[in-house]
Amino acid sequence: MKAEDDSRLIQECLRRTPGSWEAFVERFAGLFLHVVRHSAQSRSAILQPADIEDLQADIFVAILEDNFAVLKRFRGESSLATFLAVIARRIAVRQIMTRRFAEELGHIKASQSSGELAAYAVEDSPFVEIQRIEDRELVRRMVNEMAGPEAAIVKLFHLEGQTYREIALQTGVPENTIGSTLTRAREKLRQQLAAAL
């Protein structure tokens, strides 16, 4: 579709022209389905058909939020499809990571005592203690108490699901030091968790 068609579709959605949202959904449903599947595959997440539909719906809901705030940010520097694919990927990865946190929490909470929580090793399952906390907002508050580049790296990796390379490009921190930074951060969060429990 041409740039002027992209612009027209956005304007029609913003004006709430009858049929415009249906046209938008019809046009981008396949793209969002592809993004969800690819994001799940790249994160080694197994999704059921209902999960995929939920994630697709989450993307559409995010576009609708705040009176189409996402569409208002489109500046035409790329195609609308490329712009939306980037946004859809961020939403899908965030939701996949959140689901993974919830699954880990449910599994571990049922089988571990609070004493075992503090002692549990995290080498093969990063942030496993954090995943065990019922209130995800507590996780965010704990991370928010961290400062500087360390806090940014933890947020980008664990809460937004970005790769080491993406984090390095965004923060300017060398890619080969991100792993050790995350290890130090996990140790601090383990100590905070032990105190919270």
Q: Which residues of 153-189 are buried (b: 16+ CB within 10 A; e: fewer)?
A: bbbbbbbebbebeebbeeeebeeeebeebbeebbeeb
All structural domains of the chain, each given as residue ranges with its CATH number in brackets, are: 3-99 (1.10.1740.10), 114-196 (1.10.10.10)
DSSP 41: H
List pLDDT tens digits, range 48-85.
Answer: 888 888 889 989 988 988 888 999 988 888 889 999 99
- Helices 80-111 and 49-72 pack at an angle, to 10 degrees, of 130
Q: How confident is the model at residue 36 (pLDDT cuts 50, 70, 90)?
A: very high
List pLDDT tens digits, range 157-170.
Answer: 766 777 788 888 98
pLDDT surpassing 60 at residue 3: yes
Contact 33, 59 (CB under 8 A): no
pTM of the model: 0.54
List pLDDT tens digits, range 92-148.
Answer: 888 887 777 666 545 434 444 333 333 333 333 444 444 333 344 555 666 677 777
pLDDT surpassing 90 at residue 31: yes
**Distance (Å, whole) CA 128 – CA 125:** 6
